[in-house]
Amino acid sequence: MSAAHFTLLGEPALYSDQGVRLPSFPKKAHLLIAFLARAQQRKASKRELAEFLWPVAAPGQGARNLRQLLFRVRQFETAEGIQVVVSEDDSIVLAGKISVDLLVLEAGAWTNPEKIEDLLALYRGPFLQGVPTLGDPVGQWLFQHRHAIEAEFVETLLAAIVGAPDAIQQSALARGIAVASSNVGLRRELMSNLIKQGQLPEARRVLRDIQLIDGHQNFPPPRELAPLSAVPTASATQADVTPETQAARDYAGVPHLIILPPKPSAEPTTEQFMAEALIDDVTIALTRLRSVSILAPHTARQIVGSSSGNVSAAIRADYVVTTRLLGLGARFAAHRAKLSVMLEKVSTSNVIWGESIVLDHETSPIQFAAIANGIALSLVDAIERSKLRSFQASAKPDAYIHYLNGQRDLQILDLPSVRRARNSFKEALALSPHFAPAHAGFAQSLIYEWVMRGRGDIDVLNRARAAAERARDADPLFGGAHQMLGRASLFAGDFSTSLEHFSQADALNPHHADMLCDFADTLMHSSLDARANAKIELAIELNPLAPDAYWWASAGIKFFLGDYNEALRHIEKIKNQEPVLRLTAAAAAMAGQDSLANLARTRFLKTDPGFNLDDWINVLPVRDASHRQHYRDALRKAGFK
């Protein structure tokens, strides 16, 4: 039998000894392997496993389910020539040739700084990432072990970086934060390192993240924070600059939001546990998007548990989300409780958004991540629309409103809209020079203009890269900065650097639909069409009422995959057809729709009569020469010269 390797840190998977992923391994069996990996001697009785995997099954049903699962595992082992588990009388034990990343983490000697890279490569994310920690016994077990293993990783990483150069320490801590995003210990250490190196703006941003994640539960002591409050800025004296006021300036009026969980019932229920877990996931999604500042769940639970429950008195917030559990009790259908969610603007007490989510025990665990991301995006959208309505007529809109206006104009892909957006971002930066999202938006407007004009102007890309670098300098953990650096590098023809930047953006903002759209388009230009298609489909799933850029990217990907009719269907969804006329002509010509190809070519040449196909195709960034030739041949077939 061949050797094999399980990864349980991050998304669970099984790999052959050649490093090939084996997707046919039963998904439920990953939980069995995880239970054995955490058990003494990597061994458990069949009764223990049946009760763990099927905790609410009817008597005898768990044992029957386990036999069926083991039968499927045996079929897999026979097909792949790999032995994963061994039956010993009434017990199951991990096979001798099976390695597990979790066991490598536990057994490794990581104190040497030379082992930092190996450690970071090993811990790819939370234990069994993607498996929800809901209120059933399996979820509770996973919740406990996930936190224990993350704590072990953090302790190990902090020990490993002792004695390493400061630059390596900072890089390791930032990468550790990317995979253990809710951990405060790593951020405390990074903040101390930045203070020691005199990088005080960066240290203030880390402090802000500690506040957002942890409230004041484990807040650094005053002595540790003293250097942050002792440095003046251009608009403040040494006495009045504090981490709080600096964070407020850096975030330029970004709304403060608090999400209150349902009031706890006298006897905790599975639905209560599910609701709190969902709210925690929504909070994490919002911290990744960084379109609002979200207050810590710990603080929210204390407010709900207080006698007064007065949010405005307890903590300053611009918007409050209140939640209630509905449909509990004997007279309601089993396992069909609802979580009511309402978004209220504190200053006016107006409810500006509301929704009810069914907490279904059968389907919710499968859809948990999608539900959490959907709620987060809906909250941000409602807040942004509310802010725009409130300030549209204001004589002095703040930086955040200028930023929102710019983002709105970028949804329309034509040069006047893109240039209006750039002016809005300029206005935002004039009011708040360190507002990273506005720098990134400025870069994005330049990149859009470069693409639409199609003239290969390197000066435009250089300006975009400079703006993206300012966004990164203002906030090193802002994924949008790396996203725009990736786009600028792509159109400059540096495919490897572009993909590196997008990998960093993906680690920082894995559920940000706009980033996923740009990542997909970048993968397409890098001739990685299958990966590009997976990314764009995920982006559209997260943002189904997508702006034009999504459908443009998706149409291009479908074109290179040879699905020309699907490319045309996605082009039809684009409101402004002018920028995609060349792609329309190419896809139509390849699909045999000659009249549509001729019409698109004629419309395009009216706006750019001097267009030369070879000149344009030569500046188009496409990694694989065969892909470039594919596009050239399609455009020639459409009649371009």
For residue 15, pLDDT over 50 is answered with: yes
Query: Are 555 and 527 spatial neighbours (Cβ–Cβ below 8 Å)?
Result: no
pLDDT at 360: 67
576 inside domain: no
Looking at the structure, tell me whether residues 85 and 25 fall in a common domain.
yes
Continuous H helices in 339-435 = 364-391, 399-409, 415-431
Please say whether the beta carbons of 346 and 311 come within 8 A: yes
- What's the N-to-C CA distance of the chain in angstroms? 60
- If one compares 577 and 555, the residue with the highest pLDDT of the two is 555
- Nearest CA to 229 out of 238, 242, 210 is that of 242
Mean pLDDT of 250-254: 47
Q: Is the pLDDT of residue 445 over 90?
A: yes
- pLDDT surpasses 80 at 624: yes
What mean pLDDT do residues 582-595 have?
A: 95
Please name which of 532, 514, 504, 510 lies closest in space to residue 410, comparing C-alpha atoms. 514
Residue 129 has pLDDT above 90, yes or no: no
Instruction: Judge if 372 and 402 occupy the same domain.
Output: no
Domain assignment of residue 249, yes or no = no
Which residue did the predictor score with more confidence, 253 or 145? 145
Taking a C-beta distance cutoff of 8 angstroms, is the pair 323, 279 a contact?
Answer: yes
Q: Rounded to an integer, what distance in angstroms lies between the CA atom of residue 74 and that of residue 84?
A: 9
Lowest mean pLDDT among 199-208, 215-224, 525-534, 617-626: 215-224
Does the pTM surpass 0.95? The reply is: no
Q: Is the pLDDT of residue 176 over 70?
A: yes
For residue 135, the model assigns a pLDDT of 53
pLDDT tens digit string along 399-420? 777 887 788 788 777 888 899 9
Distance CA 525, CA 628 (A): 10
Identify which of 285, 222, 217 has the alpha carbon closest to the alpha carbon of residue 257.
Answer: 285
Residues 260 and 351 in one domain: yes
Residue 358 reports pLDDT greater than 70: yes
Give the pLDDT score at 211: 61
**Domain closes at, from 449, 480, 510:** 510
CB 288 within 8 Å of CB 182:
no
Tell me, yes or no, whether 35 lies in a domain: yes
The answer on 44 and 10 residing in a single domain is yes
Q: Is the pLDDT of residue 332 over 70?
A: no
- The pLDDT value given to residue 462: 92
Q: Which of 378-387, 499-508, 560-569 has the lowest mean pLDDT?
A: 378-387
Using 50, 70 and 90 to split pLDDT, how confident is the model at 309?
very low
- The Cα–Cα gap between 522 and 360 comes to 38
Residue 130 lies in a domain: no
Across 428-433, average pLDDT: 86
Closest CA to 3 of 119, 12, 79, 14: 14
Residues 6+ apart with CB under 8 A from 581: 600, 601, 603, 604
Query: Which residue, of 510, 532, 567, is where some domain finishes?
Result: 510
When mean pLDDT is compared across 37-46, 219-228, 304-313, 562-571, the lowest value belongs to: 304-313
Residues 578 and 587 sit within 8 Å (Cβ to Cβ): no
Helical H runs in 432-563? 436-453, 458-474, 479-491, 495-508, 513-525, 529-542, 548-560
The per-residue pLDDT for 555 is 95
For residue 283, give the CATH number of its domain: 3.40.50.11830
How far is residue 396's CA from residue 599's CA, in Å, rounded to a whole number?
Answer: 46
424 and 480 in a single domain? The answer is yes
- Given a cut of 90, whether residue 570 has pLDDT beyond it is yes
pLDDT at 242: 41
* Residues 22 and 62 reside in one and the same domain: yes
According to the model, what pLDDT value does residue 363 have?
52
Residues 6 or more apart from 186 whose CB is under 8 A from it? 154, 157, 158, 173, 176, 177, 180
Residue 475's pLDDT is 75
d(CA 168, CA 113): 9
Final residue of a structural domain among 387, 415, 439: 387
pLDDT above 70 as % of the chain: 78
With beta carbons less than 8 A apart as the criterion, state whether 160 and 112 touch: yes
Q: Which residues contact 64 (CB under 8 A, 6 or more apart)?
A: none
Question: What range defines the domain where residue 371 resides?
Answer: 256-387
Answer whether residue 593 shows pLDDT above 90: yes
CB 74 within 8 A of CB 82: no
pLDDT in tens, 281-297: 787 667 656 567 776 66
Q: Is 562 helix (H, G, I), strand (E, B) or coil?
A: coil
393 pLDDT more than 60: no
3-class DSSP string for 145-156:
HHHHHHHHHHHH
With a cut of 50, say whether residue 231 has pLDDT above it. Answer: no
pLDDT at 83: 93
Most confident of 21-30, 202-211, 398-407: 21-30
Residue 246 pLDDT class (50, 70, 90 cuts): very low
Q: Is the pLDDT of residue 495 over 70?
A: yes
- CA–CA distance, 59 with 155 (Å, rounded to integer): 42
Residues 519 and 535 sit within 8 Å (Cβ to Cβ): yes
Q: Which of 70-79, 116-125, 212-221, 257-266 has the lowest mean pLDDT?
A: 212-221
Q: Do 337 and 432 reside in the same domain of the chain?
A: no
Looking at per-residue confidence, does 177 or 241 come out higher? Answer: 177
Specify if 194 maps to a domain. Answer: no
Q: Are residues 370 and 439 in the same domain?
A: no
Whether residues 421 and 328 share a domain: the answer is: no
Q: Tell me if 83 is assigned to some domain.
A: yes
Distance CA 554, CA 571 (A): 9
Query: Which pLDDT score, from 0 to 100, does residue 209 have?
Result: 67
Query: Nearest-CA neighbor of 18 among 81, 108, 70?
Result: 81
Query: Parallel, antiparallel, or unpaired for β 256-260 and 319-326?
Result: parallel
What CATH number does the domain containing 84 carry? 1.10.10.10
Q: What is the pLDDT of residue 486?
A: 92
**What's the mean pLDDT in 208-237?**
53
Alpha-carbon gap, residue 177 to 238, rounded angstroms? 31
Residue 565 to residue 585: CA distance in whole angstroms: 12
CATH number of the domain enclosing 426? 1.25.40.10
Mean pLDDT of 211-227: 58
Task: Please tell me whether residues 293 and 335 are part of one structural domain.
Answer: yes
| 273: pLDDT strictly greater than 80 | no
**pLDDT, mean of residues 39-44:** 89
- Inter-residue long-range contacts of 237-246, CB under 8 Å, 24+ positions, other chains counted: 243/204, 243/207, 243/208, 246/201, 246/204
Range ranked top by mean pLDDT from 127-141, 301-315, 338-352, 465-479: 465-479
289 and 337 fall within a common domain: yes
Confidence of residue 524 (pLDDT cuts 50, 70, 90): very high
288 CB contacts (<8 Å, ≥6 apart)? 181, 479, 508, 509, 510, 511, 512
CB 535 within 8 A of CB 510: no
Q: Quick one: what percent of the chain has pLDDT higher than 90?
A: 29
Check residue 594 and give its pLDDT.
94
Instruction: Verify that 267 and 374 share a domain, yes or no.
Output: yes
Bridge-based pairing of strands 98-100 and 85-88 is: unpaired
pLDDT the model gives residue 163: 85
Q: Is residue 123 part of a domain?
A: no
CA distance 556 to 568: 10
pLDDT at position 312 over 50:
no
Per-residue model confidence (pLDDT) at position 245: 36
In a domain? residue 282: yes
How would you classify the pairing of strands 350-360 and 336-345? antiparallel
Cite the beta strand spans of 66-137 per DSSP E: 85-88, 91-94, 98-100
| Strand 13-16 to 4-7 pairing | antiparallel
Closest CA to 29 of 98, 107, 97: 98
178 vs 245, more confident: 178
Beginning with the edge strand found earlier in the chain, give each strand of the sheet holding 13-16 in spatial order.
Answer: 13-16, 4-7, 98-100
What would the DSSP string read from start to end of 211-276? HHHHTTTTPPPHHHHHHHHS--BTTB-TTT--HHHHHHHHHTTPPEEEEEPPPPPSS--HHHHHHH
Q: Looking at the 3D structure of the chain, how many domains does it have?
A: 3
**Mean pLDDT of all residues belonging to the chain:** 80
